Amino acid sequence: MKKPSTLFKTLRVAGVVAAAALCVVGCMCGCTVHVSTTTTTSASSSASSSSSGSSTVISKSYSFDQSVSTINIDLRAGDVALVKGDTLSVECSIPEQYQPSVSCNGSTLSITQEGFDNVSVNGTWTVTITVPESCDLQSIDVDLDLGTFSMTGLDCYKADVETDLGNVVLDNCTINVGELSTDMGDIKTTDTTLVSGKVKTDLGDITLDGNYDNVDWECEMGQVTVNGKAYN
């Protein structure tokens, strides 16, 4: 295991601009309206909306009857949670105009959000992906601009997770080969095994709990703690 060297440097202007995007204004309130739709694949979807000032957060749910081995996530904004459950499903609570595209083709589940600029995040935007234990996950690829990614109780052969502004949190997971990285955000794992790979953050803390014997880590500005031992 390689000890990290912590390098302190001037925060980049781009980082400051990105940090400003974390400002969350408004709160979710008001009535709820329910609608339902169907898809042309083996998936089913439903939606409900909750008004919050001038914005409307839409909750859309998708369920699939097939098994997947690959999950690809490419989102501009939203907290993403990957959890274990009984059926393969996705629930997106995001305003209608920013709702991601959700599709399941063969053994690949894809969640993609089209590019947009000058968005104001009111309330909490979330994407929850439930994966049954019967799925043999081989690859998870996450590219998240603004938001926290979490994964709980799942095993995967290969995982690449990157956030620009947000945390990465793993709990009770096993990954054979992986890379966890943030530009600005903490990386925290609990009772997790990463057999080989790299953990990296430009600005944030790394806290690892579990097995990381063949893992390199890099922290440019922050602190690294591995199984209770701190590295400055």
CATH number at residue 66: 2.160.20.120
Cα dist. 43→139, 175, 183 in Å? Answer: 21, 28, 35
Q: Are residues 38 and 86 in the same domain?
A: yes
Q: Does residue 183 lie in a domain region?
A: yes
Containing H/E element for 15?
helix 13-20
For the chain, the C-alpha Rg in angstroms (whole number) is: 18
In a domain, 75, yes or no: yes
Q: What pLDDT sits at residue 117?
A: 66
**Domain stops at, among 147, 172, 203:** 147
Q: Which two tokens stand for residue 154?
A: 């799942």
**Shared domain check, 193 and 132:** no
In a shared domain, residues 101 and 164: no
**Which of 147, 175, 194 is the last residue before a domain boundary?**
147
CA–CA gap between residue 219 and residue 198 (Å, rounded)? 11
- pLDDT, residue 20, reads 35
**Beta carbons of 154 and 178 less than 8 angstroms apart:** no
Q: How would DSSP label each residue in 166-222? A: S-EEEES-EEEEEEEEEEES-EEEESEEEEEEEEEEEES-EEE-EE-TEEEEEESSS
161 and 115 part of one domain: no
Residues 115 and 227 in one domain: no
Residue by residue, pLDDT tens for the chain (232 residues) are 334 433 333 333 333 333 333 333 233 322 222 223 323 233 445 555 554 433 788 899 999 998 999 999 999 999 999 999 999 999 999 998 899 999 999 999 999 997 666 666 656 899 999 999 999 999 999 999 999 999 999 999 999 999 999 999 999 999 999 999 999 999 999 999 999 999 999 999 999 999 998 999 999 999 999 999 998 6
Domain boundary among 91, 123, 147: 147
In a domain, 8, yes or no: no
Instruction: State the total domains in the chain.
Output: 2
- Tokens 């998936």 locate to 43
Residue 67 is assigned to a structural domain of this protein: yes
Question: Is the same domain home to 186 and 113?
Answer: no
Q: Which of 150, 153, 149, 148 is nearest to 135 (CA)?
A: 153
Yes or no: say if 201 and 182 are a contact pair by the CB < 8 Å rule. yes
Q: 105: buried, middle or exposed (CB in 10 Å: 19+, 13-18, 0-12)?
A: exposed
Domain identity same for 53 and 160 = no
Its pTM stands at 0.78
Residue 213 sits in which domain range?
154-232
Whether residues 161 and 133 fall in one domain: no
Strands (E), 100-191: 101-105, 108-112, 126-132, 139-146, 149-152, 155-165, 168-171, 174-184, 187-190
